[in-house]
Chains A and B, each alone.
Chain A
C-alpha cells in the first residue's frame, strides 16, 4: 500500500517565478494538508483540503493556493516566489481529523 507520494522531490526556481507541487494521498484518505518546514523548524500549516474545498488555512499569504481533485490528489501553487519560500513542503493525508501520514516532501530552493 503506497503511502503519501509527492512530486517532484527537489526543485530549484528563480525569484518571481511560480511553482506547482503535487501530492497523492494514502489510499483511503480523503483529506490533504500542506505544510512548510524551514530548516531547523517545525512544520507550519498552510492549508487543508477536503471534498475539493479549502477547509482551513494557516497564516500564509494569498500567493499560496491549492486545489484538490476528485481522486483526492492535491496541488500546492506558489506565485511570485521569494527567497524566504525556500523550504521543505510536506503533504499529509488523513481521514478527516488527526492521524496524519506525511509524504517525504518536496525540497524547494529559490535563488
Chain B
C-alpha cells in the first residue's frame, strides 16, 4: 500500500461546478499537508499549505484535513477553464524535510466551458 493515495482521474466538470479532489494516507505522523497545481509543461505551483487538522480557505479554494480519517480534500468553487490542470497533494511529518515529503500521483482536472 502506498503512503499516499490519489485518484489520477481524469475528472471532467462543467464551468461553474464545485470540484472535490481528495487524497488518503496511511502514515499517522503526517502533520503538514499541501496542494499543488501543475499545468502542462510547467512545474508545480503551491496552492494551499495546512498544518494538522482543520480547514483553510483562500478565495475559491478550500483545503480540509481530517487526521482521524487520514483524508485530505481540496474544494474549488465556481470552477473555471483556467483551473484545468493536474492537482497534486503532498504531505510530511515535519517542516523543512524534503526527504520525508510524500507526493500523490496527481489528479487531472478538465473544466469545460
Contacts and interface: CB of A to CB of B under 8 A. Distances in A.
Interface of A: 4, 33, 40-45, 48, 56-58, 90-92, 96-105
Contact of A98 (B8, B34, B45, B88): B34
30 contacts: A33-B98, A40-B8, A40-B105, A41-B105, A42-B88, A42-B90, A42-B103, A42-B104, A42-B105, A43-B44, A43-B88, A45-B98, A45-B101, A48-B98, A56-B97, A57-B99, A58-B98, A58-B99, A90-B43, A90-B44, A92-B43, A97-B96, A98-B32, A98-B34, A98-B96, A99-B46, A103-B43, A104-B42, A104-B43, A105-B41
A104 B105 CA distance: 18
Given A42-B88, A103-B43, A104-B43, 9 more contacts: A4-B43, A41-B106, A42-B90, A42-B105, A90-B44, A92-B43, A98-B34, A102-B42, A105-B42
